[in-house]
Structure 1
Amino acid sequence: MTIVPSASPRNFHRRDARRRSGGFTLLEVLMAIALLALLVGVVLTNVEGLFGGGQEKVASIFVKETARTGLAAYRLDTGNYPNASQGLEALVQKPSGEDDWRGPYLDDIPEDPWGNPYQYQFPGTRSNKGYDIWSFGPDATNGTSDDIGNW
């Protein structure tokens, strides 16, 4: 009698073990999904703490750099800064009566990171640049400690 090697009990168990070790059990998959969901939850709850300071930086860059550049170009062309009634819109659209306007000096006037318009005053009272430009900051209230201005 001839014994076929693949039919022997020893080889049968080896072949069966190989077949079972090729994948994960349902319990292992569920545990991995639960762990992944827990990690995602922890990360999402801490995102505001990681990136919250970026909004103040964006507002500061606009009032101290971007608007300053547009206002300087406007002044070079017209001889003065826009008045308070013309506001920052004078950097985007030609004000009536400004024959020397060669803008636009900015593509647009964005809202601050909290969805509020930037404030502009000329002549300024707080900045030594001749004009004041500021954001009300996160609390959207003028004159509080979180205001972000060019002073």
Structure 2
Amino acid sequence: MKHTRSIPRHHAFTLLEMMVVLLIIALIIGSVAVMVQGIEGNAQSVTTGAKIKALETALTSYKIANLTYPTQQQGLEALVTMPAAEPRPRRWSALAKPDALIDPWGRKIGYRNPGKRNAGGYDVFSLGPDGLENTEDDIGNW
């Protein structure tokens, strides 16, 4: 009984197998890129909502100290620097930092007193990614 020793063969990938693997990798990378892009847009909206809530809290503190909200003319800047316009606040302190007044798209967060959407109150809002007012992507305290 003779034992023949088989010579080990080195198997290589075929061109077709390599193409299938590269296609799968490309699909995975493409899917991740699309998901990350959606997450970034959502993160900007969530960040804007949080900034608006923080500004509402600062406006409430301003009203408690001064018995009124900042006027339309004074704007949200009254939370950062002492207003020069009347009515001048009785007790003023900085309640926000300047960057709190800028949305993730680089535009100033809007303020209306009296509000259009909050009758009897005020509006704090961002125009969203498109920068246009009264569109679906606006983010505000309404």
Q: Structure 2 length as normaliser, TM-score? A: 0.71
The match for 1:44 is: 33
- 2:67 is matched with which residue? 79
Instruction: Supply the distance in 2 between the matched residues of 1:149 and 1:45 (Cα, whole angstroms).
Output: 27
* Structure 2 gap segments, 5+ residues each: 1-21
Equivalent residue, structure 2, for 1:107: 97
State the partner residue of 2:49.
Answer: 60
* CA–CA separation in structure 2 for the residues paired with 1:50 and 1:72: 32
Q: How does 1:1-151 map to 2 (within 5 A)?
A: 40=29, 42-63=31-52, 65-96=53-84, 97-102=88-93, 104-108=94-98, 109-127=100-118, 130-151=121-142
Task: Give the deviation of 1:39 after TM superposition.
Answer: 5.1
1:113 Cα deviation after fit = 1.6
d(CA) in 2 for partners of 1:101, 1:58: 27
Higher percent of residues as helix: 1
Identity of aligned residues (%): 38
SS at match of 2:65: helix
User: After TM superposition, what 4+ stretches of structure 1 lie above 6 angstroms from structure 2?
Assistant: 34-38
Equivalences, count: 135
Task: Give the partner amino acid of 1:69.
Answer: T
Q: Offset at 1:116?
A: 1.1
Distance 1:143 1:38, change over 3 A: closer
Distance in 2 separating the partners of 1:148 and 1:95 = 26
What's the TM-score once normalised by structure 1's chain length? 0.67
Give the Cα separation in 1 of the matches to 2:124 and 2:54.
11
**Counterpart Cα distance in 1 of 2:112 and 2:39:** 34
Q: Deviations over 1:78-110 (max 9, x none)?
A: 1100011111010011112333223x1112333
- CA–CA distance in 1 between the matches of 2:115 and 2:31? 46
